[in-house]
Amino acid sequence: MLFNLAPRAMASASPMLDRCTFGSLTRIADLDTRAFRVAPRSRSRWARGDYVVGRVTDTSGYRTIELPSGRDMEVAEGDAVVGALGTRQATLEMTGSWREIEDNGVMHALTRAGLFGRVESRSTLVQRPLELRYDGHVQRDGTAVTMQGVVEPVDEQPFATPTVLFAGTSMSAGKTTAARIVTRRLKRMGLSVVGAKVSGAGRYRDVLSIQDAGADWGLDFVDVGLPSTVVPKEDYRAAIRQLLSRMAQPAADVAVVEIGASPLEPYNGALAIKELQNALAMTVLCASDPYAVLGLETAFEMLAPDLVTGIATNTAAGTALLEQLTDLPAFNIRDNDTHERLDALLRDRLQIVEEMPAD
């Protein structure tokens, strides 16, 4: 089957025309501007990050795909969707991997970005994921097109931009929301900001939301060819050093960096913190509940938060319990009344001298 270029898709598979929808994991490739073929490959030749095409077979649950623009589009049964093989290990939603896809070719969109694998477990609180059937690998000149294959490596360089790091006690603890708020505060101080998400499972929305909040540049692990960061440590170490080298290129005053989930989960967040250690100016821990902060402090000594915020600080009771359990400053940065305190903490940790008004 030959796929031609066109705005969201398409291609000819003689004698009929067929449209193809691209997941946002394809945003680093030129699949929408250059023709490619789709043909099945033997299971032994599959690998993480391969671009593949799946035919939608079940839309009874989630039915949207995140496009390379970051917009969501609803798909229908029979639609062809381009995504990439990968693994997700989300504690609160679902787990799955491309390695679990069986001979029948049934697979799922583990994220709406087109992270393809077979679901192994799923919370009863989330909808069924989009189901697809493997159609074939994206190929050019008989060679599979892969995420890492379309990325041009850069010369490695030290990353020294003063960094505000956002970590969590779990997924959905408020990290991206907190990162947006801090980005806005930094921009009000007249600083240039590079925003990045350095671990997690591929989605484009988090990076875009930081840019929407004012970040001058936005990057994530997809930009260095990873569909998710559930990969061997040596692979992740090579990838994050490439990512940090890209983040070092803009002349930013400060970096706002998010790690997905918690550093104890299999997304290599602990390794990300280690690689960022020399640039860290401030660490913000977003907590799902007060006891989780105590647990993470005990289990992960490398993390030394300067501030605890997130869901655990939504009420005065949560904040009081945090202060009782830990010696860490804790307040809800979504509350506008805390922004003066937040600004003072940012200036202190980033060593920003506040300009005094002229007489």
What is the per-residue pLDDT across 180-235, written as a single tens digit (0 to 9) for each? 999 999 999 999 999 999 999 989 998 999 999 999 999 999 999 999 999 999 99
How does residue 162 score in pLDDT terms, banded at 50, 70 and 90? very high
Sign (positive or negative) of CA dihedral 275, 334, 126, 107: negative
Q: Half-sphere exposure of 239 toward its Cβ, with a 13 Å CA cutoff?
A: 31
Mean pLDDT in the chain?
Answer: 90
Q: Round to whole Å and give the CA distance between 114 and 128.
A: 15
Q: Is the pLDDT of residue 71 over 80?
A: yes
Q: Supply the pLDDT for residue 12.
A: 34
- Per residue in 241-293, pLDDT tens? 999 999 999 999 999 999 988 888 899 999 999 999 999 999 999 988 888 88
Q: Round to whole Å and give the CA distance between 172 and 138.
A: 33
Report how far apart the first and last C-alpha atoms of the chain are (Å, whole number).
73
Q: Supply the pLDDT for residue 356.
A: 46
Q: Which helix (H) or strand (E) holds 164?
A: strand 163-168
Average pLDDT, integer, range 310-338: 91
Nearest Cα to Cα of residue 191 among 299, 18, 55, 351:
351
How does residue 296 score in pLDDT terms, banded at 50, 70 and 90? confident
pTM of the model: 0.90
Q: What is the DSSP letter of 141?
A: T
Average pLDDT, integer, range 41-56: 96
